[in-house]
Chains A and B, each alone.
Chain A
């Protein structure tokens, strides 16, 4: 599904989308979690797939209309930059080496996106919309950096774990603020997390910026911090460590997907979180503390975003500079699209993170051939595709309607009509 190829012309799903025939629907499905449940029942690999294809199709149209360039060759150029052609057995020799390097870059981004995607997805399952990935990511970056810079004499493994843990904790605390506000005074988490994003952005800019307390004293003319000590750096297992090879953080992200699944589906906490997500009132009557779960879900989800920040710092950035603080918004917002497109399931998150990671890396200035398509345009194209994905994944009503119609039809066939409401 990660092949960014536009679909053949004449897409049937476009016609579906334009059809607003929904009058006969007896119930409103408003809660996010209830909708997720629906996805489960529709066996919904199809919705995200159609959505992605449709979004890429529209993206291709945009390319065609605005620049007159062939969308196929544009997508082809983007695809070549992702390194995904490494998986093709017929790619050999030097081309394969380049592909391997590109793929390492793609997977580096994928690692981050998986973690921020989980951050959004976990909160989603509790009925919360965590847009605060950016702030939590910045908090994680800075905390991990500090622990990485301090304690230069610590052994390798404990230092790594300590630094990554500090990042996760910082993310949890930052998100926890929004969780507490939601639980106690009912402040809407969307607004509070966005405000926390901006606050983190400015605090981060202050800390690493000129004359900031964390700025590297040896480089007063660059807004950058000192480098984390050698012991805290994550091991590189694929590629050249000097050329940003793929670090073990990738496995941390995979492990996080497993943890995400286990916590959600096999623990009391996960049960309560999901119960609150499905229906907070019912959960309250069932004796579950809604406020406590709001706080915990936010904090846990923030821990994942903070972990994303620390993995980036310890894995390949090694220092925080002003640009990485400011670029964090892009990463965190793609996390939302990752979670939505991945239907908040571990496997779905993995594949959509790969898709967006490839898209991000393929449209980067370094990888996209500017003679084919301008990288600055392409990165905005990514945003448009992302927006369309979120828009259409949210509009599951069509699927809902089809599903209901099918179920109704089956019931009618099986027996005489059940009493109408």
Chain B
């Protein structure tokens, strides 16, 4: 026997499930609307993306009406963007599209560009979950980038380079931790100071050690070559996989591992529970015997080491050299990815991939001859995307409750 309340509840749940399914379908349709107009499909008629997009928008709105407010709205927006993108792409010359979109290359580049962001945003995750705002991610990345190069160069080993880079980021993070936890400085001001310091220290030491000659030969973090991927049965798929993920840098894989580990640590271990409780309600955490200061110190130092890892990847794994201010705002983009990803490891991963995609596509757009004059303009794309993301087109995200507030022991 089921009571009436249970029936109502069950029907509500079913309605909810339908709404959710509609929302997800709407997102899929939006992506599809864009995808059909791109290589290898390159549908030339506008009708196809328009129909798919409108269907997606309708489903998204339906889902919105049925209670999935945020998902439905997001889905409708994605469907709209997909439709617009599809129509635009259907108008563009096929050769141009082929220059920009070679899926395997785009995927490989996306992963390469996303990796430093993933490391830094996971770093930021630890710090911010414990209640300390970390604007200094940028500076910590820069420290990692330089000291990774310096350490790798002097010891002639990329492993030591990575470790030294991480240690330098952690050291700078310790400064940030001391000022924002013990001295209770404004965490944003302190983070800004960290960025200045990193810029000055790395620039100074770079010129002092390397001068005008540049960094020269450096030990490189090796690539992981997965040649066997090309032997996977359907012929096209095998070579596609091999081209997109077959020759990635070791640290790209390490980044994915970091995300998984971060998720396990934050949500499945006592340490993670402590970090979160300190970030949500430090007084309560203190009452049950968790040391707020120690937890926060540890979290901030870990965040510095991880951000520095992103920097090491940039210099030793990606560009194979160091230039002054080479992080170019990536620390801030990582912070935006963290916020966009709602302070969750996999959310941050998704956001970092999105920004990585924008960074990967920007230089490819310049390769199109008729667009070459707009060249540098495309460089603004990732930053524009970040701005739109933090502007909260896709729902607001709620930060840890005690973020940015210093804790005073009683």
Contacts and interface: CB of A to CB of B under 8 A. Distances in A.
Interface of A: 20, 22-23, 25, 28-30, 32, 35, 62, 66-67, 129, 131, 181, 185-188, 190-192, 194-199, 201-203, 205-206, 209, 211-212, 333, 336-337, 340, 374, 376-377, 379-391, 393-398
Given A188-B390, A191-B390, A387-B197, A395 B204 contact: no
Interface string B192-236: 111111111101110110000000000000000000000000000
Closest 6 interchain pairs by CB? Answer: A383-B200, A387-B196, A387-B197, A384-B200, A391-B193, A390-B193
Interface stretch (B108-116, B155-163, B247-255, B375-383): B375-383
Contact of A394 (B185, B204, B332, B380): B185
Interface in B271-293: none
A384 B204 contact: yes
Nearest to B331: A194
B182 interface: yes
A397 B380 contact: no
Contacts of A376: 207
A194 B329 contact: yes
B211 to A, nearest CB: 8
Nearest to B202: A380
A131 B189 CA distance: 11
Contacts of A389: 193
A23 B186 CA distance: 17
Contacts of B396: 185-186
23 contacts: A28-B407, A66-B208, A129-B188, A191-B335, A191-B386, A195-B329, A195-B386, A196-B387, A199-B380, A199-B387, A203-B380, A380-B207, A382-B200, A383-B199, A383-B203, A390-B189, A390-B193, A391-B179, A391-B190, A391-B193, A393-B189, A395-B183, A398-B183
Interface in B158-189: 175, 179, 182-186, 188-189
B373 interface: yes
A185 B193 contact: no
A131 B192 contact: yes
Contacts of B179: 391, 394-395
Nearest to B382: A198
A25 B410 CA distance: 9
A202 B339 contact: no
Given A25-B408, A129-B188, A202-B377, A397 B183 contact: yes
Given A202-B380, A384-B201, A387-B200, A28 B408 contact: yes
Contact of A206 (B184, B329, B376): B376
Contacts of A337: 196
B47 interface: no
B204 A377 contact: yes
B192 A192 contact: no
Given A383-B200, A385-B200, A398-B183, 13 more contacts: A32-B186, A131-B192, A181-B391, A188-B390, A190-B188, A195-B384, A201-B380, A202-B376, A202-B383, A203-B377, A206-B375, A212-B373, A340-B189
Contacts of A190: 135, 188
B409 A23 contact: yes
Contacts of A187: 390-392
Nearest to B407: A28
A67 B208 CA distance: 8
Given A30-B406, A380-B204, A381-B204, A195 B183 contact: no
Contact of A387 (B183, B199, B376, B409): B199
A202 B379 CA distance: 6
Contacts of B329: 194-195, 197-198
Contact of A336 (B192, B207, B335, B383): B192
Contacts of A25: 408
A337 B196 CA distance: 10
Given A181-B391, A333-B196, A390-B193, A199 B383 contact: yes
A222 B183 CA distance: 50
Nearest to A129: B188
B404 interface: yes
A376 B203 CA distance: 9
A381 B182 contact: no
Nearest to A23: B409
With a 10 A CB-CB cut-off, give which of B185, B198, B204 has the most chain A CB atoms: B204
Contacts of B407: 28
B208 A377 contact: yes
A12 B217 CA distance: 45
B405 A192 contact: no
Contacts of B189: 32, 129, 340, 390, 393-394
Contacts of B383: 195, 198-199, 202
B184 A22 contact: yes
A23 B396 CA distance: 36
Contacts of B192: 129, 131, 336, 390
A187 to B, nearest CB: 5
B336 interface: yes
A22 B384 CA distance: 43
B129 to A, nearest CB: 17
Contacts of B196: 333, 337, 383-384, 386-387, 390
A391 B196 CA distance: 9
With a 10 A CB-CB cut-off, give which of A195, A206, A396 has the most chain B CB atoms: A195
Interface in B120-154: 135
A185 B391 contact: yes
A30 B186 contact: yes
Nearest to A62: B204
B73 to A, nearest CB: 13
Given A20-B183, A192-B391, A206-B375, A387 B204 contact: no
A192 B390 contact: yes
A30 B374 contact: no
B373 A211 contact: yes
A388 B193 contact: yes
B332 A191 contact: yes
Contacts of A186: 392, 396
B387 to A, nearest CB: 4
A206 B335 CA distance: 27
A377 B207 contact: yes
B193 A206 contact: no
A66 B204 contact: yes
Given A20-B182, A23-B409, A397-B184, A198 B380 contact: yes
Contacts of B184: 22, 28-30, 397
A249 B186 CA distance: 34
Contacts of A384: 196-197, 200-201, 204
Given A199-B387, A209-B376, A381 B200 contact: yes
A30 B204 contact: no
Given A129-B188, A187-B392, A22 B182 contact: yes
Nearest to B374: A206
Contact of A30 (B336, B376, B384, B404): B404
Contacts of B182: 20, 22
A289 B199 CA distance: 38
Contacts of A192: 387, 390-391
A333 B200 CA distance: 12
A62 to B, nearest CB: 7
Interface in B383-402: 383-384, 386-387, 390-392, 396
A385 B203 CA distance: 13
